[in-house]
């Protein structure tokens, strides 16, 4: 998969941020510019959502494709050939399980959960904003919609 030395890989991994990532910043700036006010990295909720609208009980996660397993079946095949395959073949499915556990916990608390892939935020920011606005509107009238990868 790559030909990095262990030191180079470690340096790369240290630079990966858990909060205030580029995709979060893109989405947050767009929401702020439209007049939406939110909380970020909200520690009072399971999973510490990246963006939270407490008034409407909407929790938003900005998920990176690699760490959250987008197109997992395809990625799994590529990872089996990588240097550190055992680690990633355990880590990523566990991340995916944790995402589902967090989604379930939040829904049980009465929250709407939105998860956006990083590439979707970059390629279709307006579509992501539209989805959020639909949820705000629906929550104002008491409806609930759940999306990720086109699920409704």
> Which CATH number goes with the domain that contains 84?
3.40.960.10
Average of per-residue pLDDT values in the chain: 86
Cα dihedral sign for 70, 118, 20, 130?
negative
d(CA 119, CA 117): 5
d(CA 86, CA 24): 29
> What are the pLDDT digits (tens) for 108-121?
999 999 999 999 99
> What are the pLDDT digits (tens) for 24-57?
999 999 999 999 999 999 999 999 999 999 999 9
Number of compact structural domains in the chain: 1
> What are the pLDDT digits (tens) for 82-118?
878 889 999 999 999 999 999 999 999 999 999 999 9
pTM exceeds 0.85 = no
Residue 148 belongs to some domain of the structure = no
Helix (H) or strand (E) holding 52: strand 51-53
Residue 112 belongs to some domain of the structure = yes
């Amino acid at each position: 998969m790559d030909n990095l030395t262990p030191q180079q890989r470690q340096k790369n991994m240290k630079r990966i941020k858990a909060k205030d990532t580029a995709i979060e910043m893109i989405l947050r700036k767009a929401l702020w510019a439209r007049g939406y006010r939110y909380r970020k990295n909200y520690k009072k909720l399971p999973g510490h959502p990246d963006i939270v609208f407490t008034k409407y009980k909407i929790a938003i996660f900005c998920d990176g494709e690699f760490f959250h397993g987008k197109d997992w079946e395809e990625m799994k095949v590529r990872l089996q050939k990588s240097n550190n395959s055992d680690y990633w073949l355990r880590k990523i499915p566990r991340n995916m399980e944790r995402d589902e556990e967090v989604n379930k916990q939040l829904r049980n608390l009465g929250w709407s959960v939105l998860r956006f892939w990083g590439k979707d935020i970059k390629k279709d920011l307006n579509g992501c904003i539209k989805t959020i606005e639909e949820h705000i509107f629906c929550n104002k009238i008491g409806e609930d919609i759940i999306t990720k990868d086109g699920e409704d």
